[in-house]
Amino acid sequence: MLTIAVSKGRIFEEALPLLSEAGIQPTDDPKTSRKLILDTTRGDVKLVIIRATDVPTFVEYGAADLGIAGKDVLLEHGAESLYEPLDLKIAGCRLMTAMHKDKPNISGRVRVATKYVKTARLYFASKGIQAEIIKLYGSMELAPLVGLADCIVDLVDTGNTLKANDLEPRELITEISSRLVVNKAAMKMKHQAIQTLINQFEITLAKR
């Protein structure tokens, strides 16, 4: 039995074609089902539906054999304990700094609002900028507007939300896409089944 952890939303929707090519389709609709563990059309594979930020934790501790997670989540989690064999090239976006459109670029000490505390701290340290990091869980765009922070670090897709709040993206921290991650013990114990699945994903990705 293989268990794959994946989050609802964009990542799940964009992962469905990849999973389907490998013969894995949920037998319940995750949009309407209250089940957190979904059976699939493959009797040897189950899907665990969890929060995006929990995917690497479930995989690291063996509650799931594999997971599909955004690179932003993996960077913040610290994924040294996981195998990351594939960039699935789905759910693409950018992790960026953003500021009020009329504010000059950062030069000295800065106050940063973000949920990506570890990643932001490393980024500003690499640039020699002293940053005070304020952790927020949502409504990041509000922080510069009410004087809570000078800038934010957040995912940017279309940039429309930033623009609607008089903010603009400034510096690219890294490109983000979703990756396949594998528990190290499972890779040894269930190597053939996991490697076969990885190969199937590779074939599908090569066709794109």
125, 153 Cβ separation under 8 angstroms: no
At residue 33, the pLDDT reads: 83
1, 37 Cβ separation under 8 angstroms: no
For residue 169, give the H/E element and its range.
strand 167-176
At residue 17, the pLDDT reads: 94
Gap between the Cα atoms of 44 and 173, Å rounded: 39
At residue 30, the pLDDT reads: 76
At residue 104, the pLDDT reads: 87
pLDDT along the chain (208 residues), means of 10: 94 95 90 88 95 96 97 91 96 97 86 97 95 95 96 95 95 97 97 97 93
Full-model pTM: 0.92
> Interhelix angle for 191-206 vs 10-21, to 10°?
100
Calculated CA dihedral for residues 3, 21, 84, 52, nearest 10 degrees: -60
Domains and CATH numbers, the chain: 2-91+177-206 (3.40.190.10), 93-174 (3.40.190.10)
